[in-house]
């Protein structure tokens, strides 16, 4: 057992303090804010990276379209039946597509060592990770929300619910990105974290799914959707307040190995 330490600091400390007096000191910096600079740079960096690898941005969208194609084939092409299940199908498929891309949120940063550097920045880690999540939503959740109405047409989604579908998805996927990022941060240090990530995150997605799909259904039945959207907004506000701290704490755990 290697338990003891040989010749720790006694060997040279006295002599080195003498040398320390001979040399001038490098001026120490005061930490002077710059949080906005750091957040902006992180946003720009992640956007640039993802836009250079367009495949990664497109894959969730293709997955979304593919899954939606499977349902009429598996169930029935009957427009009336499809119209009934369309809100739920669209929401579940979008949710899975958003989940699919989560695993890579911190993975490449972890692998190349820049996550370590992110944690050592003299800025609040919560704010920096929020920037990363924002980019994830901008390039996954938002495109999914914009694409959903097109797939809605293919599922014979009744008129009048398209705007609500896109809006509820845009609001909801933002919460999904935030909650999912906690799971991604917890599993980033694990070699095969992908499946585990879904297991951790999917139960937490249920409230968003209920009110998101509920909003579209309410729109179809001609009921008021403002309550649903308000709750989705409240969920987003709560996630915005709490998730960044959980993400930061999780990242610190993962970096410890």
CA pair distance 230, 9, nearest whole angstrom: 61
- What residues numbered 85-124 form the site for other proteins, per CB under 8 A? 108, 111-114, 116-123
Contact 164, 219 (CB under 8 A): yes
CA pair distance 249, 71, nearest whole angstrom: 39
Torsion angle, CA of 93/98/104/109, rounded to 10 degrees? 180
Q: Please work out, in degrees rounded to the nearest 5, the angle formed at the alpha carbon of residue 236 by the alpha carbons of 136 and 101.
A: 25
- Residue 73 or 257: the one with the smaller Cβ distance to other proteins is 257
CB of 14 to other proteins, least distance (A): 11
Q: Count other C-beta atoms under 10 Å from residue 16's C-beta.
A: 10
The 30-69 site mask, x for binding other proteins (CB under 8 A), equals xxxxxx-xx-xxx--x--xx--xx----------------
- What residues numbered 1-20 form the site for other proteins, per CB under 8 A? 1-9, 11-13, 16-17, 19-20
Residue 4, classed as helix, strand or coil, is: coil
166: its two tokens: 């896109």
Sequence-distant (6+) residues with CB within 8 A of 141 are 98, 169, 170, 173, 174, 176, 177
Element (H, E) at 175: helix 162-187
Q: Count other C-beta atoms under 10 Å from residue 124's C-beta.
A: 15
Please select the residue that binds other proteins; options are 26, 73, 74, 159, rule is CB under 8 A. 26
- Residue 27 or 159: the one with the smaller Cβ distance to other proteins is 27
CB of 183 to other proteins, least distance (A): 8
- What residues numbered 219-238 form the site for other proteins, per CB under 8 A? 235, 238
- Residue 149 or 245: the one with the smaller Cβ distance to other proteins is 245
- Residue 15 or 73: the one with the smaller Cβ distance to other proteins is 15
Please select the residue that binds other proteins; options are 28, 73, 74, 159, rule is CB under 8 A. 28
CB of 58 to other proteins, least distance (A): 16
Which residue stretch of 93-101, 140-148, 166-174, 249-257 sits at the interface with other proteins (rule: CB under 8 A)? 249-257
CA pair distance 64, 73, nearest whole angstrom: 15
Please select the residue that binds other proteins; options are 72, 88, 207, 233, rule is CB under 8 A. 207
Total number of residues that touch other proteins (CB under 8 A): 83
- What residues numbered 139-198 form the site for other proteins, per CB under 8 A? 182, 186-187, 189-190, 193, 196
């Amino acid at each position: 057992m290697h338990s003891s330490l040989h010749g720790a600091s006694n060997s040279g400390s006295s002599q080195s303090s003498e040398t320390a007096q001979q040399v001038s000191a490098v001026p120490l910096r005061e930490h002077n804010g710059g949080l906005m600079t750091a957040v902006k740079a992180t946003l720009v960096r992640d956007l640039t990276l993802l836009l250079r690898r367009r495949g990664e941005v497109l894959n969730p969208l293709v997955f979304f379209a593919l899954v939606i194609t499977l349902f009429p084939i598996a169930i029935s092409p009957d427009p009336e039946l499809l119209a009934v299940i369309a809100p739920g199908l669209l929401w579940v498929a979008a949710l899975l597509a958003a989940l699919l891309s989560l695993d890579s949120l911190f993975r490449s940063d972890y692998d190349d060592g820049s996550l370590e550097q992110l944690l050592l920045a003299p800025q609040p880690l919560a704010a920096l990770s929020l920037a990363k999540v924002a980019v994830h939503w901008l390039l996954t959740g938002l495109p999914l929300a914009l694409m959903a109405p097109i797939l809605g047409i293919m599922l014979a989604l009744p008129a009048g619910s398209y705007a609500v579908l896109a809006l509820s998805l845009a609001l909801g996927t933002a919460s999904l990105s935030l909650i999912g990022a906690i799971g991604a941060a917890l599993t980033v240090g694990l070699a095969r974290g992908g499946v585990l990530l879904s297991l951790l995150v999917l139960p937490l997605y249920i409230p968003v799914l209920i009110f998101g799909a509920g909003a579209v259904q309410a729109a179809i039945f001609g009921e008021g959707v403002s309550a649903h959207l308000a709750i989705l907004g409240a969920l987003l506000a709560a996630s915005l307040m709490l998730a960044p701290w959980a993400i930061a704490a999780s990242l610190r755990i993962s970096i410890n190995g």
